[in-house]
Structure 1
Amino acid sequence: MSSQAFLEAVKARRSYYGISKESVISDEKIVEIVEHAVLHTPSSFNSQSARVVVLLGDNHDKLWDLTTNTLRAIVAADQFEATEQKMGSFKSGYGTVLFFEDKTVVDGLMASFPAYAHNFPIWSGHASGMHQLVVWTALEKEGFGASLQHYNPLIDEEVKKTWSLPDSWQLVAQMPFGKPTAEPGEKTFQPIEERVKVFK
């Protein structure tokens, strides 16, 4: 694959908020994409601190019901309708990918390399971001639409409890996905000349 093909895939990745419960590939292929991303996406010191959960079927629905109920307790009643509609749009998808970082790994690196200790949480975030981009782009390349959400830390404890996940797994992002039912919004760009500098 040329770099151009890769860059076109990155360019095509967008945030889709209109998604359906129809799938475009098998569940096995979805899992294969996630496993490939986890195995081959880089991390600082090869820490491999990423942890990922794939929620399909009733488990996907359960996540967005859980999130809706959590938000209901903190959002004013007269403002909740918009929030509920947003949660419904995520729930209408086929599945959700949850991205975590294992704090045990990060804390271990901080203890082993004290000179870099303050950087490891930052580098952990970098690694997670790369995992999110790889999965997002690959899912879209297969014909799914997805978006990236951040309802952590509000839902962290309930998520760990519901799916019996280790306490050291720190939730970073949620990626609902499904077959697109609407086009993404228009994307605007700041002048590239103000964002990239080249010195020869």
Structure 2
Amino acid sequence: MGKDFLTAVKERRTYYGLSKEAVVSNERIQEIVNEAVKHTPSSFNSQSARVVVLFGEQSDKLWNIAKETLRKIVPADSFAQTEERLNGFSSGYGTVLFFEDQTVVEGLQKQFALYADNFPIWSNQSSGMLQFVVWTALEEAGLGASLQHYNPLIDEEVRATWNLPSEWKLLAQMPFGKPTFEPGPKEFKPLEDRVKFFS
């Protein structure tokens, strides 16, 4: 990364305004995702993360799935707002889908029964770290992104559309693209209420 780590962390923001204009090559995006998946830590080095990156029309297909799924359950008189938000995600360049392989999680639960209840929690924590690493790295490369959660509503159709294993549990969707407008100021609660130091 060209920036120091904490600057990159600070500058990562949520971008809802995205365009399909190419900012970096698909190959560079693939490199970012591969490096993130390879080097983000996981409990017991389980490496349970699974990621799918959808570009262009494939990304559009995902957001059409979400739109048609939600159309069935959102009241018609309030669907316009939902549709507008989903159209914003589909206006981006692509989408990263984050999964956790439940075969790996369940295998660890059997192997280390004492910690069985913790492995799903640790799996989610590892996925959260991966999401953050990808998000920050995409932004450092000039792309805007946001983190969405239309799972589990879209899970079955996503697995069927891209022929993904049933053991892959969808946890998050990250639409990305060239930012079309900057996010507003971010408010912060006092750090003295959130952090304690002892020496």
Which runs of 5 or more residues in structure 1 are unaligned? none
Q: State the Cα deviation string for residues 60-84 of structure 1 (Å, max 9, x = none).
A: 0000001000000000000000000
Partners of 1:196 and 1:11 lie apart in 2 by 17
TM-score normalised according to structure 1 size = 0.98
Q: What TM-score comes out, normalization by structure 2 length?
A: 0.98
Equivalent position of 1:140 in the other structure: 139
Q: Could you tell me how far apart the structure 2 residues matched to 1:180 and 1:98 are?
A: 19
> How do residues 9-158 of structure 1 correspond to structure 2 at under 5 angstroms?
9-158=8-157
User: Could you tell me how far 1:185 is from its partner in structure 2?
Assistant: 2.5
> In the alignment, residue 84 of structure 1 is paired with which amino acid?
E
Match of 1:184 in 2: 183
Corresponding position of 1:166: 165
- CA deviations 1:15-66 (Å, max 9, x no partner) are 0000000121000000000000010000000000000000001100000001
SS at match of 2:157: helix
Amino acid in structure 1 at the alignment position of 2:180: T
Distance 1:104 1:185 in 2: 41
Partner SS for 1:185: coil
CA distance in structure 1 between the aligned counterparts of 2:71 and 2:57, rounded to whole angstroms: 21
How far apart are the structure 2 equivalents of 1:5 and 1:138?
A: 12
Say yes or no: does 1:5 pair with 2:4: yes
Deviating above 3 A after TM superposition, structure 1's stretches of 4 or more consecutive aligned residues are none
Aligned partners of 2:109, 2:71: CA distance in 1, in Å?
Answer: 38
SS of 2:184's equivalent in the other structure is coil
